């Protein structure tokens, strides 16, 4: 199986496996990968491309470690967690009632995040939360609510919401 260069269309790329790969395109400064990475180099035009195995699993592993870090997180790390949750800056701004500008400043490192913002991202990652399919911004701006009746049924000592 020979790979084709996306730049000059030359067929037959040289491949190599780096012993330690600095994963800079994650947007984080301190992530290094051992194995699972193949670098392709075109002998004709010299362009390089990188293939990383199971990127979804890798990003989940990074997010899990960040969520449990016993230190405050950097702006880049907070951006990584937001993106891992599937929120745009605008969506998250609406949800937590901060301005988009404030979130941009946090992520660029020009201002420190308030603790609840950082905790929200950490807990959402730990709980495996994903952005829901309803409009969070619209929901967060709604100030009225109407309580519905919630019936829980006990079956074999377990509680479940009745259909």
Q: In angstroms, what is the minimal distance from the CB of 55 to Zn ion?
A: 23
Indicate the residue among 11 and 69 with the shorter CB distance to Zn ion: 11
Reference 25, options 6, 47, 50; nearest CA is: 50
Reference 13, options 22, 25, 1; nearest CA is: 1
For Zn ion, which stretch binds (CB under 5 A), given 40-48, 62-70, 91-99, 145-153?
40-48
Could you say whether residue 3 binds Zn ion (CB under 5 A)? no
Q: Distance (Å, rounded) from C-alpha 109 to C-alpha 81?
A: 15
Residue 112 Cα distances to 14, 42, 87, 119, 138, angstroms: 44, 43, 20, 13, 27
Could you say whether residue 15 binds Zn ion (CB under 5 A)? no
For Zn ion, which stretch binds (CB under 5 A), given 2-10, 81-89, 103-111, 131-139?
2-10
The answer to whether 80 and 63 have CB atoms below 8 angstroms apart is yes
Burial class, 118, CB count within 10 angstroms (exposed 0-12 / middle 13-18 / buried 19+): middle
Indicate the residue among 3 and 104 with the shorter CB distance to Zn ion: 3
Could you say whether residue 44 binds Zn ion (CB under 5 A)? yes
Q: Distance (Å, rounded) from C-alpha 135 to C-alpha 95?
A: 9
Could you say whether residue 5 binds Zn ion (CB under 5 A)? yes
Could you say whether residue 8 binds Zn ion (CB under 5 A)? yes
Q: In angstroms, what is the minimal distance from the CB of 3 to Zn ion?
A: 10
For Zn ion, which residue of 16, 22, 24, 45 counts as binding (CB under 5 A)?
Answer: 45
The answer to whether 112 and 75 have CB atoms below 8 angstroms apart is no
Indicate the residue among 3 and 137 with the shorter CB distance to Zn ion: 3
Residues that bind Zn ion (CB under 5 A): 5, 7-8, 10, 42, 44-45, 47
């Amino acid at each position: 199986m020979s790979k084709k260069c996306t730049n000059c269309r030359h067929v037959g790329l040289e491949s190599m496996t780096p012993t330690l790969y600095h994963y800079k395109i994650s947007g984080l400064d301190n992530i290094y990968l051992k194995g699972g990475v193949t670098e392709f180099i075109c002998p004709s035009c010299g362009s390089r491309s990188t293939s990383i195995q199971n990127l979804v699993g890798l990003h989940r592993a990074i997010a899990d470690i960040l969520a449990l870090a016993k230190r405050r997180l950097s702006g880049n790390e907070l951006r990584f967690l937001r993106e891992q949750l599937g929120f745009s800056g605008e969506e998250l701004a609406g949800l937590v009632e901060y301005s988009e500008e404030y979130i941009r400043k946090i992520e660029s490192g020009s201002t420190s995040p308030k603790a609840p913002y950082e905790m929200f991202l950490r807990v959402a990652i730990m709980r495996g939360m994903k952005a829901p399919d309803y409009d969070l911004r619209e929901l967060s701006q709604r100030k009225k609510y109407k309580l519905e009746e919630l019936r829980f049924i006990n079956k074999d000592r377990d509680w479940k919401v009745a259909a």
